[in-house]
Structure 1
Amino acid sequence: IVDDGGISFATLVGEPRDSTWPALVERVREKFEEARQKLARLGDEPDHRRGSYFCENSGYSMGSGQKRPGNLKNSAARQKIVDDLLRDPDVVRIANFGSGALKNHVPGVYELYRENMEALLSSDPDLKPNFPNNVFAAATFNFGPRVITRVHLDYLNYAFGMCSVTALGKFNYRRGGHIILWDAKLIIEFPPGSTILLPSAILRHSNVDIARHETRYSFTQYTAGGLFRWVRAGFQTLKSLHAQGGNLSREYEEWKEGWRLFPTVSELFGQKNA
């Protein structure tokens, strides 16, 4: 998806050209449903700003007043459910497909993520990445059973970063489950098993409803903007940096710097033909 200047700001990645992918997607759908049923036994379905459905987070992050990066925390029972999925080879494959798609389609952002992740993990061995060979810091498992998100921004994510979203479930994707990119004025079919990359912190998005008898889940990967600021500030908070006379404010308010991370169509085609 490109703007009028030819800059690619979102990518409909789709799915791998692999005959085994549909069966893998179906297995993961079943595992998400099993996880949802376990969560339902732990408590009622939550209602949050993105919608009304079960979800759990995993990985590491920084924001909302944290003094340093840390691992996202769940109760022991919920973490067991998440850990089972993190170790599942089918889930790992979906996750790393999203990371690989970022490398292929938005290489500038991928390199920034990779460098930032390596710096963070080298500086703090207590941080636990979700998956090997994957540049995203965190993930959310949206267990549904009907993941229909409200219009929202993921404002804690890096503004010029990309969020990888993979749709799962059993629903008629021609009639529902579409992703709406409000600022781009687009409504896009989003079939189960397909992935999209989008700057979810700056592009408002939501989903079209599905039928009552249908199910929809999703798996998202992202990195908090606070992690980038922590590294750029010399592994300290901006408050601490400013107290020492440093200043990153101008750099992080300069939109052109972030926008340069997004490739043009000609750059992408040149890269693929090289």
Structure 2
Amino acid sequence: MGVFGGHPRDRDWKTDVAQKAADLMEEAANGIYNHTFSGVYYGTRKDEKRKRKRKGAKATPLEEKIPRRGPIRPKTMGNSMGGGQEAPMGFFNSVLHTIVLTGLLASEPFQRIAGFTNGLFQTYAPDLHVHYSTTLDHLHQWNHQLKRNFLPSISVFTAATFNFGLRTITYPHLDFANLAWGWCAITALGDFDPDKGGHLILFSFTQYTPAGIFRFVANGFRSDVDVNASDVRRNRWVEGLKMYRRWE
């Protein structure tokens, strides 16, 4: 299921928000990647890291190293739980990347985008939105050290991924750790740019909350390893579906 939310009825939205957000992402990419949009994959997978640590090793060309989602360049900020973590924690980024991504999140265009998508969520799935909001509040009450991407009045998601393109088109794939009845907000940014080879410049900004965080909070701030979760999971599935509303 999905909602194509468009944009607010603001005649300046394209220039003041959408285009500025795309410009900010293109500028940020210059600070993050050694050769912006050079057709080289600077991945974060362990084998790629080991290879680059070897003396004289170079990053792998895209045609030789394609990630599961495709030749895209994502960077994520916020909090997650998965991959053997015993408790939620922040995504790891280098100091440089943290500065750049924090600047994007704090900018007015992305503040407005997050607020608008939050409003869409609240309008079309109000009960589920309350569940996200309550879970987020409980998480940060449990651990005050976890940092939010946005104020709770702006966004109820724990994580945000910036996809730096240059053309953000993914392969068909499954994200197995997602919440089955969950919600995410995906914003596409970009335009046809004749000055850059006549290509469609396309970035994306995605907000979401990993399923592990919901389970951790529901388990009384314990991981599924510490809880016999078989019956609990069945109940969560039923209760989760009830949070969606029927629309005539």
Shorter-chain TM-score range: 0.7 to 0.9
Matches within 5 A, 1:1-274: 9-23=1-15, 24-41=17-34, 44-46=40-42, 47-132=66-151, 133=153, 134-171=155-192, 213-241=199-227, 247-254=228-235, 255-266=237-248
Alpha-carbon spacing, 1:151–1:171, altered in 2? closer, same or farther (3 Å): farther
Structure 2 alignment gaps of length 5 or more:
43-65
Contact 1:60 1:127 in 2 (8 A): yes
1: CA distance between counterparts of 2:13 and 2:200?
A: 21
Q: Is the 8 A contact 1:62 1:227 kept in 2?
A: yes
After TM superposition, give the deviation of residue 110 of structure 1 in Å.
0.3
> 1:164, CA displacement in angstroms?
0.4
Determine what percentage of the aligned residue pairs are the same residue. Answer: 35
Measure the CA separation in 1 of the matches of 2:176 and 2:98. 25
Structure 1 stretch 16-25 or stretch 163-172: which is displaced more? 163-172
Q: 1:126 to 1:166 in 2, by over 3 A?
A: same
The Cα of 1:169 is off from its aligned counterpart by 0.7
CA distance in 2, matches of 1:42, 1:81: 16
Contact (CA 8 Å) 1:36, 1:54: kept in 2 or not?
Answer: no
Q: Secondary structure at the match of 2:11?
A: coil
- From the two aligned structures, give the one with the greater helix fraction: 2
User: Distance in 2 between the 1:240 and 1:248 partners?
Assistant: 9
Point out 4+ residue stretches in structure 1 off by more than 4 angstroms. Answer: none
RMSD: 1.9
SS class of match (2:97): helix
Aligned partners of 1:225, 1:48: CA distance in 2, in Å?
22
Q: TM-score if structure 2 supplies the norm length?
A: 0.81
Deviation of 1:162 after TM superposition, in Å, equals 0.4
Amino acid at match of 1:259: L
- Post-superposition offset of 1:212: 6.7
Measured in 2, the distance between the counterparts of 1:236 and 1:155 equals: 21
Contact 2:192–2:198, Cα closer than 8 Å, also in 1: no
Residue 42 and residue 78 in structure 1: after superposition, are their counterparts in 2 closer, same or farther (change >3 A)? Answer: farther
- 1:154, CA displacement in angstroms? 2.6
Q: TM-score, normalised by structure 1?
A: 0.74
Q: Structure 1: which 5+ residue stretches go unaligned?
A: 1-8, 173-210, 242-246, 267-274
Distance (whole Å) between structure 2 residues aligned to residue 167 and residue 112 of structure 1: 26
The residue identity in structure 2 corresponding to 1:141 is F
What is the CA-CA distance between 1:33 and the residue it aligns to?
0.8
More moved, 42-51 vs 115-124: 42-51
Deviation at 1:160, TM superposition (A): 1.0
Query: How many equivalent pairs are there?
Result: 215
Equivalent position amino acid for 2:186 in 1:
V
Partner Cα separation in structure 1 for residue 230 and residue 7 of structure 2? 39
